[in-house]
Chain A
């Protein structure tokens, strides 16, 4: 239903070419498309309306550059405007006092406890001495959860079981911090609805008691239209200093980020990008803007690839390819590296328009083929892997049996591998890129 906004905008703007200037009339269709894109990304409808207005004012009167596509130009304006709105110079934490306090607040299940631990890990790495404070007296076992996470990180946690008075918890934690020389307290508070006045007042009292440098609103990236209400209420009651966007490793487009930023004006400081405690990073406005607009997230893909691929190994492979010495062993290695980056689904999902492309495609089948290929190569002897030309019919039958596939499948893999080798010999320049991207393996996929 939603092909990438880029292509839709291209269409909408096709008629702009040759007009000279962008005017209110000829930009109307395209802006409707933008509005739709924003709404599909869960940007609040009022925020979307204001944003469109801004883009309109920004773009009207601009000359249409003949050399580039007007669609591209418009997308750039929209993208820049969104980055401007999402970004902020004041993104880091301001922790000056000793001890300094950080309050984590938000709705139920937005990820406060996990984010608290992740933040503690980050601050610890930056040389601060954090103390986790379990200030959620409502949810069963919330305190144990924080304590366990603290243990995993080797960061102390202040837990006083059975205590429901937040102010007493705060005093106890601050005393402990002074005694043990911890300079940053991270308060993991209970999830609460922004309209639950008594519970919000409880937070206000905690704030007044602890005088925190940072009050961070933790928000699920998949939050819908409500993001506006949530952010407004928490900000009005507590005067938050920023926010953390969680569960960005899913496929939510994250329009909530725009809503949040638009109504509070407070910076989004961090992003939670996975279940592991190291999956936590500073917020990147450009990436978020691309994501909201459905333009893919190539930067993340490259980063992920960089993490998964061993550079030295990649260079060695590249060398081999250039010399035409690429063996089945190397091929196996490459297959495994690809797997480390993620499933085909995740990889394609990060490419522009990729999320659209994979809808309906049977990726499971491709993954299965990958696995079969891996199995087939594993069933070969070292000698066979090195010089596949010795693979006669009997050997092939043995391999087929050993890897549980048909001989035809073994033949197909070998044929494709031979073709690949041929290609590699031919393409001088392309090789480098292929080796880096792990594209050699992708070349084996049927079109």
Chain B
């Protein structure tokens, strides 16, 4: 029986290949090979999509091209569509608590732009006519508190801060309490950068979140991993570990104004189902944009 099943499966594969080949010949689609493929592979690898995703996309593109290639579609366009399909998310924009204060926590490794993103997000909700509060929970890095306070001044957003070396969870607790007392709409919590491999620091982050949940059930409502677009395949590790520790709800990709493509988000969305919510495109407060999968996929292939 087993042998027969195997035989049948083998036949099925052959039949599929044959049908595909016949379709190709009938529709006079060109075969995709050689230089075009290599170019496509280069573009995908060069955008940090990683070998695995690159191969998947190439396989998909190859069969799509060979069945509909004569319709004038070029390889890049098909690949872009393929990537776009993988990136479309059900959920867009910031989540909102059913009532009252919405807490958004920003997490990530060092130097990805958490503080800047927190400030930009505050600016964004403010421009929509809602009231925002910032929490300076990076009590470790030198001058991190000053940095967010300066942003606060610039944007006229209040910043809740503690002293250096203070317990980040205590600051978070106070910030949530303040946000509730002042009937704010949004609280953006800027946490300290930490490498996802540092077990104790990840536990500290869990504590920060636990404490906020105690103060306000359900907080943080949104946990955004801030990713630097220049990061390579390690971004997937970062996302995995942060997700394991604090259950992420989405991604923010920063520094996309350079030539980096941040292609790892494709792999992250595929594996963890985390949507990209915003992209950072510069140093100004308004340089934060909602993520547009179509635009992004097209940009991957444009120079």
Contact = CB atoms under 8 A, between A and B. Distances in A.
Contact of A108 (B45, B111, B143, B151): B111
B268 to A, nearest CB: 13
Given A45-B45, A107-B258, A226-B259, A220 B228 contact: yes
A222 B113 contact: no
Interface residues of A, number: 53
B233 A251 contact: no
25 contacts: A39-B50, A42-B232, A107-B255, A109-B110, A138-B283, A141-B150, A142-B147, A143-B143, A144-B143, A145-B144, A148-B143, A193-B258, A223-B230, A224-B48, A224-B234, A224-B260, A224-B263, A225-B48, A250-B234, A251-B196, A252-B237, A253-B233, A275-B110, A343-B199, A345-B199
A416 B47 CA distance: 52
A1 B53 CA distance: 13
B141 A40 contact: no
A109 B199 contact: no
A423 B160 CA distance: 57
A249 B195 CA distance: 8
B50 A40 contact: yes
Contact of B234 (A42, A111, A349): A42
A110 B228 CA distance: 10
**Which of B42, B109, B111, B144 has the most C-beta atoms of chain A within 10 angstroms of its own C-beta?**
B111
A152 B150 CA distance: 22
**Which of B140, B198, B232, B237 has the most C-beta atoms of chain A within 10 angstroms of its own C-beta?**
B232
Given A40-B51, A141-B146, A251-B234, A222 B109 contact: yes
Interface of B: 41-42, 45-48, 50-52, 109-113, 140-144, 146-147, 149-151, 154, 195-200, 228, 230-235, 237-238, 255, 257-260, 263-264, 283
Given A223-B232, A224-B260, A145 B45 contact: no
A220 B195 CA distance: 12
A39 B234 contact: no
A250 B238 CA distance: 10
A137 B185 CA distance: 33
Contacts of B230: 107, 220, 223-224, 226-227, 230
B134 to A, nearest CB: 13
Dominant SS among interface residues on chain A:
loop
B232 A45 contact: no
Nearest to B152: A140
A70 interface: no
A141 B138 CA distance: 14
Interface string A264-308: 000000000001000000000000000000000000000000000
Contacts of B235: 222, 224
Contacts of B144: 141, 145
A224 B151 CA distance: 30
Contacts of A107: 230, 255, 258
Given A39-B45, A149-B142, A195-B258, A108 B113 contact: yes
A193 B257 contact: yes
Given A46-B42, A108-B111, A227-B230, 9 more contacts: A36-B51, A141-B143, A145-B144, A193-B257, A223-B230, A224-B264, A249-B197, A250-B197, A346-B197
**Which of A40, A142, A220, A229 has the most C-beta atoms of chain B within 10 angstroms of its own C-beta?**
A220
B269 to A, nearest CB: 17
